[in-house]
Amino acid sequence: MKRLYTFFMAAALCLSSNAATPINVVNGISQELAVSRAAIVGNITYDLTFNIPASKTEAVKGNATITFIYKGGKTDLQLDFQGAPSQFDGLCVVNGKQIAVAWQDEHILIPRKSLRRGKNIISMSFISGDKSLNRNADYLYTLFVPEHARSVFPCFDQPDLKALFRTRLNVPEGWETITSVSTERIPTYLFSFVAGKFSKQTQERNGRTFTALYRETDAKKVAQLDTVFDIADHSIRWFEDYTGIKYPFSSYGFVVLPGYQFGGMEHPGAIQFTDHEIFLGEHPTPEELQTRVELIAHETAHCWFGDDVTMRWFNDVWTKEVFANFLASKIAKQLFPDVNHDLNFLRMYQTRALSTDRTQGTHPIQQQLDNLNSAGLLYGNIIYQKSPVMMRKLEEQMGASRFRQGLQEYLNTYSYSNATWDELINILDRYAPEAHLKEFSEVWVKQKGMPTVTTQWNDGKLIITQSDPFKRGLTWQQSFLVDAIYINKVENDGAEQTRITTTTIPVDMQGDKKEIALAKRPDYIVPNADGSGYGLFVFDNFDNIPLPTDDLRRFALAMNMYENYLAHGIDAKSLSDTMHSWLKAENNALIASQLVSYWGGAVSAMPDTDRYFQELQMWQEYRNATIASVKQRLIRQLYNTVSDESVTDSIYNVWADKSDPLLSKTDYTQIAYRLAILKPQQWQKILQKQRTRLSDADEIRQFDFISRACTPDVDEQQRLFISLLKAENRRIEPWTASLLRLLNDRTREPLNNRYLQPALDALLDVQRTGDIFFPGKWLSALLSGHHSKEARQIVETFISQHPNYPDKLMNKIKENAYTLTR
């Protein structure tokens, strides 16, 4: 009570005595504040001490000394700090003098009269908020992107005020620690520390030392660290060669974390990875192996793109992500020479970009951002997956050599500093003025959506048109291929045979219409034949279309067919039958895996009777599959969505006997969750048996949290759901999403429709208290299992009744409700 009294008295004194208090003091970090501070503050150093107790119920306390150069200003200086009044006593030392300061709307207001032009030093003690400490029983890790550093210590929490960090961690005996680099300037969102009971490995590659912290106890999985170090070393050397710039930081370390809410995070010197994408099962699929390579290469790429050269404001956060993904795919091309990487690019990026861009929740790659407290809503498939599609087209427009030269100039010009997308475009434009990159950027980067492309033959011409579904008159500059297929019946030794000939037509689309001479009418016109185009390519006819012999064309045809299905150009049964028949003939594992996904997508939209029949067929294909990764994909599709009783019994037998060596421990756990729901009389027996198969303490904690959703007791289901409406019960977000997804299992509809309205009502709080990807994951877990008209009505009513809802959050709702409302 005394501390609170001291704080409020100090704040009142400061506010009453200082007429220069800023008017625009608001929650978060507004762009107005960021611009004004960047003009007057620089050369920042944080000397930070954190006292971390063994018990997560005890507060983390610390001291901060902030040194900076001040150019002078007209108002008090706002220092960002988020928390309750009890977390700050209202006192700090400014340039050697203890003064009382005000704490207002998440900011500590440093009186301008206490500051001087030139060097200033501010010191204070604080109590950290738990929001971004990610505290567990015997370890914690910080995650500050996009503006959560201020929840843990006072700082200038914006990307263009880079600083040196000197960090001291006082931790319990036996704990390991790792922090971000201390020798190069980084923004606050890239500062991080990890402390806890971890194992540690240090290895050298090509004269460089790599350090890893991890909690995994399975010796076979831990042995995979050798491969992880190899990939990291290869990635560094590749980027040094590609950029012409040596690794920009003094150390390379990483932490592998269970239950981690991202795939990875690029803190220089202390990268964080999720365990399930680093430590793979005994029989990883080709997709899993490539995903691991691209994840490690992605986070390593950030050391140049994001950590060295950082966006000035988070509206350009995508610029670091596009280069991390786009260039990581080039590294995967080297490490997997036998893979068709054009095909893999479609699988990794194009299909996922389309999954958002086809919806009413789509948005531009570059988005307007007024305050960093909404920056988390910028993240998603558009910035991670559509932007590499765009960048590949931009590279094609320029040429790979000039593109690389432009990037090298960009990195050298803005090294250890900040830059905008427009500044990069200005550089690239000088290398290829004929590519009209500013016009290209205006449509591809600054406008939402994708074109609808139609093709038809008329009077000796192939006519290609593109239109803007949002009726803005936009045209997308891009090139793609169109295949004109001719079916001819010929006689050979008295027998009639079918001869298929194909004419491939390159299309350079610069406007809304293109006409190309084509004398004979084709039997089939296949636009976007190799997937190099982006948009909805409307097909006139899929019936009995010949299946291409070329792998890339087969994948592209399946992708285009699925998009036409979603656009109501093909019915679910036709798509289902086609994907099934194509799967039977497919020998490329990546294509076959995607066919399974499209098949499953169509099956999920079918009435019960038709769906049960398709599930039986899918089970039969699983039994007959000869490609290991396809076999894995089929049963994973089934155990996540199966409703048919006989198929459920068959999966139960596989689970009970652990008879499929291709399935991992995680697979068997996921199967147990669904079996417990589908077999309510045996739910406890199933879960108890699966729990005995787990030995790792972190795995058991996760299992005990999630498996509660499997109870058949509807009142207990309701209590569990209500518990998730409180932020403290959502702390480990991947576990929360899994629990919510099970509560909303399709077999529990319509009873679980009662969760929809309160879960949507809670979304603002979910966004406020969660990390950047969590609102989307919350919505996916909530909505993906629902298929009823009642559920659709609830969601559509919510959308219609909230016309002034934050647009970025509403886009997340519309995106995740697409299959329910389309």
Contact indicator for 709, 742 with CB cutoff of 8 Å? yes
What local confidence, expressed as pLDDT, does residue 131 receive? Answer: 87
Q: What is the mean pLDDT of residues 499-508?
A: 95
Beta bridge partners of 92: 99
Global pTM reads 0.93
| 578-602 pLDDT tens trace | 999 999 999 999 999 999 999 999 9
Percent of the chain beyond pLDDT 70? 97
Q: Give the neighbor-by-neighbor strand order of the sheet with 513-517.
A: 513-517, 461-467, 452-458, 536-538
What local confidence, expressed as pLDDT, does residue 84 receive? Answer: 59
CATH ID of 310-444, from 1.10.3210.10, 1.10.10.10, 1.10.390.10, 1.10.3720.10 = 1.10.390.10
Distances in Å between the Cα of 776 and the Cα atoms of 189, 389, 514 are 21, 22, 39
| 339-370 pLDDT tens trace | 899 999 999 999 999 999 999 999 999 999 99
Helix (H, G, I), strand (E, B) or coil at 177: strand
Residues 6+ apart with CB under 8 A from 775: 376, 377, 763, 766, 767, 809, 812
Domain 2-197 carries which CATH code? 2.60.40.1730
Helix (H, G, I), strand (E, B) or coil at 169: strand
DSSP string, 459-470: TTEEEEEEE-TT
| 152-208 pLDDT tens trace | 999 999 999 999 999 999 999 999 999 999 999 999 999 999 999 999 999 999 999
In the predicted model, what is the mean pLDDT of the chain?
Answer: 94
Contact indicator for 246, 240 with CB cutoff of 8 Å? yes
Domain ranges, ordered by start, for the chain: 2-197, 310-444, 451-533+535-570
What local confidence, expressed as pLDDT, does residue 86 receive? Answer: 66
**Which of 163, 70, 161, 81 lies closest to 115 in space, CA to CA?**
70
| 399-421 pLDDT tens trace | 999 999 999 999 999 999 999 99
Same-fold call for 2-197 versus 310-444: no
